[in-house]
Amino acid sequence: MASAFTDFLRLARTGVVLAQHGVRFVPAGMPTPWPLHLLRALTLPLRMLGWLVSPATSRSGRLSRALTSLGPSYIKLGQFLATRRDLISPELAEDLTELQDKLPPFSMREARRVVEEALGGKLEDHFVEFGPPVAAASIAQVHKAVVEENGVRREVAVKVLRPDVERRFRADLSSFFRAARLIERLVPFSRRLKPVAVVDTLARSVELEMDLRLEAAAISEMADNIKDDQNLPDGAFRVPAVDWRRTARRLLTIEWIDGIPARDIAAIEAAGLDRKRLGLIILRSFLRHAMRDGFFHADMHQGNLLIDRQGTVVAVDFGIVGRLGPRERRFLAEILHGLITRDYRRTAQMHFDAGYVPTHHSVEVFAQAMRAIGEPIHGRTADEISMADLLGQLFAYTDVFDMETRPELILLQKTMVVVEGVARALDPELNMWVAAEPIAKAWVEENLGVAGRLRDASDGAGTVGKLLMDLPALLQRAEGTALALADMARSGVRLDDDSIARLARAQARQTRASRWATGLAALVLAGLMAWIIHTGIGR
């Protein structure tokens, strides 16, 4: 009961803040349910106060500003929803692109405490210099430091988790789960998009991001994947080296990168670096990582890409990464290759082969849809063609052809939008399709040619062999399960009177608490979550 009341208070505060920022819960033209009419009436004074305080505030960005004011958990919620355009409307997704993950830094005293608890001893035992924070976000902040080994000094970047951030996230996630459960109960049409599962995905993502050893592992994995790429014509892409001796769950130490942020076009030009080459490196590196390795940096904005003195692109901040399985990689490569070569029938057939489109649809009709997407790009200039927009159009056909939503492909599209923007800022004339063609072609030849078929056959043989080796154990377990089920069928499942009484009391408590929470929180939850339901799930 205490937990339900605490969640209610958090959600009530959230509803107040959203109302104060004038967040529009229901887009124009959509019916407004009666709880929202009542909520708008109750919060009118707050909205008027917000307009008086910031009369010049634009309508766009209101949601981003509201979430920023609510703190780290809500910033992460907004960032997560920005990657799930299958759940929210384009209007909200555009608003959330303005969400900046920046917060005031915490004190040097707190940073010292985290370092010493993570590594043991004194901070000076591990770093000969430890400077003030150079960047601060919702989960962690970064310090520049110096280490000395065998008389050699080197500069490092030290990422330190915010104090007590884990507890704050757990508390807010509890209220998110409660809101999602109520939504599934009160709004039947929301259930197909599984609000509880969405919050669960967010919770797991944040849990991974708050273990900095996993970020170190992601950097290390990327380094292994690209170690042979430096000899490629466009292979000037790398990641920082990890200092594993000074890395722990709440602390990450990596090589310090002296570089120019990709957003600083003037500094890049002043350094005499080739902007066209850099744009090509960034685009092709991303595509190569996604298609060849199935593992890509999913937050490749301009601040996370640095250009060193040699003109090498260095990616930092691996808190968010994406993974694609073999099917998803084939999907991406075939889509790009099919649209580039105008082989729409093959592209459509690939969707059916991969199981993305149910078989009751026609391959020919789907090929027609692919042609509607692909034909407009031919004969147009480079600055008129957006690969990210075309992938967005492709994913928009998911509803028309009953295609199951693939979150990993939505994350891929979101990253593609960012990467395309970075590459085009460096080279406005970059033809995305010409740049992508050799990557897609190489993947298709490698994986769908003779070599790929032989490798697939080898993998298939290995799978069959493992199944044969495991067959006796599987049969033994199946026999045991069958005997247990037969015994249950004969004798039934018996509970003693005490167990039945305890179950009845627990059910009664749960029912009372559920009714109390539903009745008390429904109106305020409308204020918190209606912008998801009625602008995303309800469209």
Please give the positions annotated as active site. Answer: 299
Residue type at 354?
Answer: A
DSSP-H helix ranges across 43-107 = 44-53, 62-70, 72-82, 90-96
What residues pair up with 350 in beta bridges, in sequence order? none
Closest CA to 528 of 35, 198, 49: 35
Q: Strand 321-323 to strand 295-297: parallel, antiparallel, or no bridges (unpaired)? A: antiparallel
Cα–Cα distances (Å) from 6 to 196, 514, 517, in that order, read: 19, 14, 11
Which DSSP category does 294 fall into? S
Instruction: Check the CA dihedral 14-18-20-26 and report its sign.
Output: negative
3-class secondary-structure state, position 196: helix
Strands of the 129-136 sheet, one edge to the other: 129-136, 140-149, 152-161, 251-255
Pull the structure tokens for residue 383: 């600055």
3-class state of residue 263 by DSSP: coil
3-state SS assignment for residue 87: coil
Amino acid at 335: I
Find how far residue 307's CA is from the centre of its chain: 25
d(Cα 332, Cα 334) in Å, to the nearest integer? 6
Q: Is the dihedral of CA 517, 522, 528, 531 positive or negative?
A: positive
Neighbours of 486 (CB within 10 A): 10
Q: What are the tokens at 75?
A: 């910033």
Cα(101)–Cα(72) distance, integer angstroms: 8
CA distance 422 to 303: 10
Burial of 158 (0-12, 13-18, 19+ CB in 10 A): buried
475: tokens are 């049969």
Quickly list DSSP for 90-145.
Answer: HHHHHHHTT-----PPPPHHHHHHHHHHHH-S-GGGT-SEEEEEEEE-SSEEEEEE
Q: Using an 8 Å Cβ cutoff, are 70 and 102 in contact?
A: no
